[in-house]
Amino acid sequence: MSIILGIDTSCDDTAAAVVENGTKILSNIVSNQTEIHKKYGGIVPELASRRHIEMIWPVVDEALKTAGIKHEGLSGVAVCHGPGLIGSLLVGCSFAKALCYSKGIPLVAVNHLEGHIFSSFLEEPKPAFPFLALIASGGHTCLYRVDDFRKYRELGRTRDDASGEAYDKVAKLLGLGYPGGPIIEKLAQDGNPEAIDFPRAYLPETFDFSFSGIKTAVLNYVKTIPLHSELRTLNSELINDICASFQASIIDVLVKKTEWAIRKERIKRVILTGGVAANNELRKRMKEMCDERGSGIFIPSAYLCTDNAAMIASAGHHHFKASNFAGLDLNPQAYMPL
Ligand code: KG4
Ligand code: ZN
């Protein structure tokens, strides 16, 4: 049996969780920084790392207390060491190393993307290997073939903006607030997804993605409307249509490319995760496509799709079992392919 404390400070959430045997969540604490960053319309890295320094100890403390576990009861600590914002990652890694050194506990290092994949092992039913994993978040949009633990093959990734980043940037240019995903999803519910024919970057020759063009297309469309800076107050119906049409473009691409990968790789199981996977329309459309193709679809609950440390502890359990320990010389890296 393993009891792993997971820590993730890769972006703007300070997260700690305790997970038993890689599958059972004993606690899962996330302190988000939305209030700090929202006036800037995006994450300010320096403010993020400063806030992590303030929050890391209370968040870890709460995770241990909620789980009813003391340091002596931990089998190991799993920390996310990249990819992410370097200043933010440094806080989690330094804290984890100090904790392990002072308490004599083993340390394992987990790639953030590997963590997202393992979010699908924290609920029932769990996917069997092999499966396809689409990670759609604020920092990443990538498609993997996963044959086993630590056997990941990247099929494609975004060449420019991530899908969540596109949501955030479009929300910013429409003056809607931050983070853009949940706001656009809500407004899109009252809009017509066919109102505006925004482009779909299918890039048919590859499994790579590109989402910067759709953001520019929305910007160019908005520029054609008089007094666009007051758009929301002037015409909320139009805003809803823009949101619905933009969202339709993003979802069409994510679903279609996953469908192509199912066909090419001949794999009948798909997991969908990352912050954008919290989107109900995407969940519905992906499930419909998988049902039509007779493929199994595994989508974690929304709170496990967005950044959390339970997913880091879950992946960490496998590193722990494989004795794949990290030394106290562990250094985080902003860029770290899986
Ligand atoms: O996985 P995550 O919490 O952090 C990263 O690793 O990036 O993803 C955050 C991203 C943000 O861009 C946010 O706008 C997007 O996920 N997001 C959503 C929704 N909820 C969060 N996008 C679309 N619909 C949502 N409901
Ligand atoms: Zn993430």
- Ligand 2 centroid, distance to 135 Cα (angstroms): 8
> pLDDT tens digit string along 75-91?
999 999 999 999 999 99
Region of 203 on the Ramachandran plot (φ > 0 left; ψ -120 to 50 alpha; else beta):
left
> pLDDT tens digit string along 90-118?
999 999 999 999 999 999 999 999 999 99
Average pLDDT of the segment spanning 254-271:
97
Tell me the CATH number for domain 3-118+305-321. 3.30.420.40
- Ligand 2 centroid, distance to 234 Cα (angstroms): 35
Tell me the percentage of the chain whose pLDDT exceeds 70.
97
Is CATH 3.40.50.880 correct for 127-299?
A: no
pLDDT greater at residue 315 or residue 228: 315
Whether the per-residue pLDDT at 228 is higher than 70: the answer is: no
Residue to probe by mutation, ligand 1, list 9, 30, 167, 285, most atoms within 8 Å of CB: 167
Across 9-120, the runs of DSSP E, i.e. the strands, are 13-20, 24-32, 76-82, 107-111
**Does the bond joining 45 to the residue before it have cis omega, within 30 degrees of 0?**
no
279 Cβ closer than 6 Å to some ligand 1 atom: yes
Atom of ligand 1 nearest to the CA of 163: 12
Average pLDDT of the segment spanning 169-194:
95
CB atoms under 10 Å from CB of 190, counted, come to 13
Instruction: Give whole-number Cα distances, 93 to 78, 86, 269, 322, in Å.
Output: 9, 10, 33, 21
Atom of ligand 1 nearest to the CA of 164: 12
Whether the per-residue pLDDT at 122 is higher than 80: the answer is: yes
Whether the per-residue pLDDT at 159 is higher than 90: the answer is: yes
158 Cβ closer than 6 Å to some ligand 1 atom: no
Written as six digits, the tokens of 99 are 């904790």
Q: Quick one: pLDDT at residue 233?
A: 52
State the pLDDT confidence band at 227, using cuts at 50, 70 and 90: low
Answering whether pTM is above 0.75, one says yes
3-118+305-321 shares its CATH topology with 127-299: yes
Q: Quick one: pLDDT at residue 221?
A: 93
Average pLDDT of the segment spanning 195-203:
96
300 Cβ closer than 6 Å to some ligand 1 atom: no
Whether the per-residue pLDDT at 242 is higher than 70: the answer is: yes
Q: Name, in order, each residue with C-beta under 8 angstroms of 291's C-beta and a sequence gap of 6 or more.
A: 297
State the pLDDT confidence band at 42, using cuts at 50, 70 and 90: confident
- Ligand 2 centroid, distance to 137 Cα (angstroms): 6
- Ligand 1 centroid, distance to 324 Cα (angstroms): 30
180 Cβ closer than 6 Å to some ligand 1 atom: yes
Q: Quick one: pLDDT at residue 236?
A: 87
Average pLDDT of the segment spanning 222-240:
72
83 Cβ closer than 6 Å to some ligand 1 atom: no
State the pLDDT confidence band at 223, using cuts at 50, 70 and 90: confident
- The residue extents of the domains of the chain are 3-118+305-321, 127-299
8 Cβ closer than 6 Å to some ligand 1 atom: no
Nearest ligand to the CA atom of 211:
1
- Amino acid letter, residue 89: L
Q: Quick one: pLDDT at residue 40?
A: 87
CB atoms under 10 Å from CB of 206, counted, come to 14
Average pLDDT of the segment spanning 202-207:
94
Atom of ligand 1 nearest to the CA of 135: 1
pLDDT greater at residue 186 or residue 38: 186
Whether the per-residue pLDDT at 232 is higher than 70: the answer is: no
